């Protein structure tokens, strides 16, 4: 049933993570703090279930009217003197950014944390144009210095210990080694201040935009996004095209839930509303404001009524913080900036369902993700939709049948379960052959391929000599 | 005492083939409540393994068969949250484009109950004269807990067992790592999730771990046995049934 692990990075990276006790500890600690924090925080809202359903409706309503809302948002921003670029793909978004940077002689960029810029590979593209890019979120800064990618959507350096950060800062920032978090944070702050003041351009993401008022909203806990968007001459914000709502009152609901879901707090440190460049009556802000609205595969999801629900996501990462699988395998196994349950759905859709099939098949469907999602996305249902495509192929998504052997197994299975006589015969035959399997304490110790994975680590109870139905029938006959 | 209710038992294929003694205990529990039990001989599987692996056409075969066998029943009771979730939640979904079957699926879904849910919420019966000498803990199976919202019912039933000392383990609602075909396709990940579940059970100091879904218990039992840990895994029916009356 399984291919060689060499062709399955999800499995090989997962195995590596499972064998890393430091990472295991970090992931358990993360879930303990953030996952439980979120669930506790929801209890402070009266009837949080209905509140989250309302949030779902707000998001679905926006998704269903996306064309109208984006047009309205763009018009408003342009009215305020901003520029809007609709990027059909990653290349268009990146090229636009490079063009604007070059035209303005930009040498140095500071960035607020943004997953969509990770998705489009913005940093490496800018660096290859000899433009210096500095991540200013502490976690992002750490992994940038280390030359690594994020392993969590909001806690990107969760895989790093403070000792590792101490050694990294000592090497890269030239400070004496320490593993004292306040000292390390102060060192990062000092280094980043210089970057902020020297930057010609600030790049940020966008947590949510508002069509009614024509602004984008960014949320941070370190204040770095606000500095990135106000200090440099130019501010360029990137947003996935789904990240818009109709009305400002929608933000009140969603920003009540977002910090609760993300960090278990009822409010974030900073919420910034940006609607364009500095106006004549503003004391600060950029001279130029650009908003890049990115499609990059989202229209295709939008067109599929069974899947568009995933576009409700506000990237709070709460699903990562409760997922039993993410807890063990960490972020890198998902091979994309989007990891955990959300990554298991969105990455195959954005990058190819067949290529990333292990992501959507490698989840237990336990439902903890759905239970915590602030916008009530039915993630298990979406995983099942993807599995359906993989099982029988789906030309609309260019998906081919992933495993013809497994298909054959289930076709045979569907014949067996159709007729109790045949089913009983199957049980009886299996019962006969299981006698040849090695046992320990009356349980089966080793199964033949393709089921051997089960008995690599655990035993399996044998089939009973007589099924309950057979026994029931026998007892009925005997009165 | 229950206006002579009749229940039809859907055994769950796993219990039928591997744990027939659990089904016998279920019958015993119903006998003690005065409810008459029927168990159609033709039943096999609800189709969940195929559905969860993505094979909808094959799952439809199982679903239609299930509906045909059980639709004349007064109430269908199944000792597995995940099978009940399949019937209640996914059957109507399977027939999205087939109004006739969808209606039949919904009718069946509306009268399909999980074992502990039926005992506590419908029959209001929580004690059956059983005793247990020792400390027990409870594992919340995912489809039962997150899918059907059944958390209190099994605990009420456990409280109805004499002498048993109940200890709530931390994260009792975290997945055991079974996930059906997932456990065979991704055995290392599945086992890593399971390892932590078993560590938690051991740390609780329980003599037995109770569950209401045999598939999770089979998974847990598999590792306990491999590690020679003498903690019993018991389906809640086994735990509460007591001696035959």
CB-based contact B146 A324, cutoff 8 Å: no
Is A117 in contact with A203 (CB distance < 8 Å)?
yes
CB A154 within 8 A of CB A317: yes
DSSP character string of B24-67: HHHHHHHHHHT-EEE--TT----SHHHHHTT-HHHHHHHHHHHH
CA B23 to chain centre: 11
Q: How confident is the model at residue A450 (pLDDT cuts 50, 70, 90)?
A: confident
β-bridge mates for residue A245, sequence order: A210
Angstrom distance (rounded) from CA B78 to CA A340? 32
Give counts: helices (H), strands (E), chain B: 14, 8
**Rounded to an integer, what distance in angstroms lies between the CA atom of residue A168 and that of residue A47?**
46
Q: How far apart are CA A145 and CA A133, in angstroms?
A: 11
Residue B1 in this model has a pLDDT that exceeds 50: no
pLDDT of residue A59: 98
pLDDT digits 0-9 by tens, B139-175: 999 999 999 999 999 999 999 999 999 999 999 999 9
| Region at A175 (left for phi over 0; alpha for psi -120 to 50; beta for the rest) | beta
For A181-210, write each residue's pLDDT tens digit.
999 999 999 999 999 999 999 999 999 999
**For A367-389, how does the pLDDT look when each residue is reduced to its tens digit (9 = 90+)?**
999 999 999 999 999 999 999 99
Is A13 part of the contact surface with chain B (CB cutoff 8 Å)?
no
| B191/A456 Cβ within 8 A | yes
Closest residue of B to A333, CA-based?
B189
Furthest-apart CA atoms within chain B: distance in Å: 53
Which residues in chain B (131-190) have CB-CB distances under 8 A to chain A? Answer: 142-143, 145-147, 173-175, 177-190
Helix axes of A48-64 and A248-263: crossing angle, nearest 10 degrees: 120
Strands of chain B, DSSP E: 6-9, 36-38, 76-78, 112-114, 135-138, 165-166, 208-211, 232-235
> In this structure, what is the dihedral angle of CA atoms B212, B214, B220, B225, given to the nearest 10 degrees?
130
**Burial class, A380, CB count within 10 angstroms (exposed 0-12 / middle 13-18 / buried 19+):** buried
Could you tell me the pLDDT band of residue A3, with boundaries at 50, 70 and 90? Answer: very low
Q: Quick one: pLDDT band at residue B4, thresholds 50, 70, 90?
A: confident
Instruction: Report DSSP state, residue A379.
Output: H
- Distance from the B4 Cα atom to the nearest Cα atom in chain A, whole angstroms: 20
- Per-residue pLDDT, A409: 95
Give me the count of residues in chain B: 245
pLDDT of residue A476: 87
Percent of chain A with pLDDT over 90: 95
Helices A468-477 and A420-433, axial angle in degrees (round to 10):
120
- Please give the C-alpha separations between residue B241 and each of A470, B4, B26, B114, in angstroms, as whole numbers: 22, 20, 7, 16
Question: Which residues on A lie below 8 Å from B42 (Cβ)?
Answer: 420
- The H-or-E segment that residue B10 falls in is none
- d(Cα A317, Cα A315) in Å, to the nearest integer? 5
Gap between the Cα atoms of A14 and B190, Å rounded: 11
- CA B44 → CA A289, B6, B18, B63, B125, distances in Å? 64, 21, 13, 11, 28
For chain B positions 47-106, those within 8 Å of chain A (CB to CB) are: 47, 49-58, 61-62, 65
- A392, A414, A458: residue with CB nearest B191: A458
Can you give the length of chain A in residues?
479
- A1 pLDDT higher than 50: no
Chain B residues whose beta carbon lies within 8 Å of the beta carbon of residue A464: 17-20
| Nearest-angstrom CA–CA distance, A77 and A86 | 13
Q: Which ipTM did the prediction report?
A: 0.96
Tens digit of each residue's pLDDT (9 = 90 or more) over A344-359: 999 999 999 999 999 9
Looking at residue A6, what is its pLDDT?
59
Give the pLDDT confidence of A98-144 residue by residue, as tens digits.
999 999 999 999 999 999 999 999 999 999 999 999 999 999 999 99
Among the residue ranges A450-454, A462-466, B22-26, B161-165, the one predicted with the least confidence is A450-454
């Amino acid at each position: 049933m399984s291919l060689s692990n060499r062709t399955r990075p999800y499995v090989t990276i997962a195995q590596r993570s499972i064998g890393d006790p430091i990472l295991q500890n970090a992931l358990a600690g993360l879930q303990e703090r953030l996952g439980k924090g979120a669930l506790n925080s929801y209890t402070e809202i009266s009837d949080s279930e209905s509140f989250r359903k309302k949030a779902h409706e707000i998001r679905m309503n926006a998704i269903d009217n996306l064309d109208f809302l984006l047009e309205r948002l763009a018009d408003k921003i342009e009215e305020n003197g901003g520029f809007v670029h609709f990027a059909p793909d990653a290349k268009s978004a990146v090229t636009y950014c490079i063009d604007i940077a070059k035209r303005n002689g930009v040498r140095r960029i500071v960035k607020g944390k943004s997953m969509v810029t990770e998705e489009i590979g913005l940093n490496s593209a800018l660096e290859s144009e000899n433009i210096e890019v500095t991540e200013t979120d502490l976690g992002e800064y750490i992994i940038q210095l280390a030359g690594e990618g994020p392993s969590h959507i909001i806690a990107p350096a969760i895989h790093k210990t403070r000792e590792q950060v101490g050694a990294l800062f000592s090497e890269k920032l030239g400070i004496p080694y320490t593993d004292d978090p306040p000292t390390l944070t102060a060192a990062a702050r000092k280094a980043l201040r210089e970057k902020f003041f020297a930057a010609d351009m600030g790049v940020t993401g966008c947590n949510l935009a508002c069509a009614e008022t024509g602004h984008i909203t960014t949320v941070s806990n370190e204040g770095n996004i606000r500095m990135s968007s106000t200090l440099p001459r130019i501010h360029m914000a990137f947003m996935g095209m789904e990240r818009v709502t109709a009305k400002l009152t929608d933000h009140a609901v969603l920003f009540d839930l977002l910090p609760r879901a993300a960090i278990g707090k009822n409010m974030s440190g900073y919420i910034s509303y940006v609607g364009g460049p500095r106006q004549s009556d503003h004391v600060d802000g950029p001279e130029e404001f650009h908003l890049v609205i990115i499609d990059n595969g989202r229209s295709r999801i939008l067109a599929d009524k069974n899947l568009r629900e995933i576009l409700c996501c506000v990237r709070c990462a709460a699903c990562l913080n409760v997922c039993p699988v993410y807890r063990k395998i960490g972020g890198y196994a998902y091979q994309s900036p989007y990891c955990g349950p959300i990554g298991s759905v969105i990455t195959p859709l954005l990058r190819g369902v067949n290529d990333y099939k292990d992501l959507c098949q490698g989840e237990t469907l336990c439902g903890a993700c759905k239970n915590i999602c602030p916008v009530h996305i039915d993630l298990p249902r979406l995983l099942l939709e993807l599995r359906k495509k993989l099982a029988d192929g789906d030309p609309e998504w260019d998906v081919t049948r992933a495993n013809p052997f497994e298909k054959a197994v289930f076709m045979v299975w569907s014949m067996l379960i159709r007729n109790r006589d045949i089913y009983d015969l199957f049980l009886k035959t299996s019962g006969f052959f299981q006698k040849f399997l090695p046992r320990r304490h009356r349980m089966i110790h080793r199964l033949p391929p393709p089921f051997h994975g089960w008995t690599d680590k655990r035993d399996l109870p044998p089939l009973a000599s007589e099924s309950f139905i057979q026994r029931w029938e026998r007892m009925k006959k005997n009165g | 005492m229950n206006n002579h209710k009749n229940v039809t038992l859907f055994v769950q294929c796993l219990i039928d083939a591997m744990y027939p003694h659990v089904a016998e205990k279920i019958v015993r529990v119903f006998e003690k409540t005065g409810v008459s039990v029927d168990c159609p001989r033709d039943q096999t599987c609800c189709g969940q393994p195929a559905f969860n692996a993505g094979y909808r056409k094959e799952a439809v075969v199982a679903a239609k068969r299930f509906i045909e066998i059980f639709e004349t029943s007064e109430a269908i009771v199944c000792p597995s949250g995940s099978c009940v979730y399949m019937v209640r939640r996914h059957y109507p979904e399977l027939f999205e484009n087939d109004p006739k079957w969808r209606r039949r699926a919904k009718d069946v879904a509306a009268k399909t109950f999980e074992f502990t849910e039926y005992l506590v919420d419908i029959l209001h019966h929580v004690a059956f004269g059983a005793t247990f000498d020792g400390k027990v803990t409870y594992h919340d199976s995912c489809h039962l807990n997150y899918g059907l919202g059944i958390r209190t019912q099994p605990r009420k039933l456990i409280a109805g067992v004499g002498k048993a000392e109940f200890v709530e383990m931390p994260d009792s609602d975290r997945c055991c790592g079974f996930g059906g075909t997932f456990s065979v396709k991704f055995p290392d990940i599945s086992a890593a999730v399971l390892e932590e579940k078993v560590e938690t059970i051991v740390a609780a100091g329980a003599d037995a771990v109770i569950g209401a879904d045999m598939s999770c218990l089979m998974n847990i039992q598999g590792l306990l046995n491999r590690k020679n840990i003498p903690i019993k895994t018991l389906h809640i029916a086994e735990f509460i049934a007591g001696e035959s009356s």
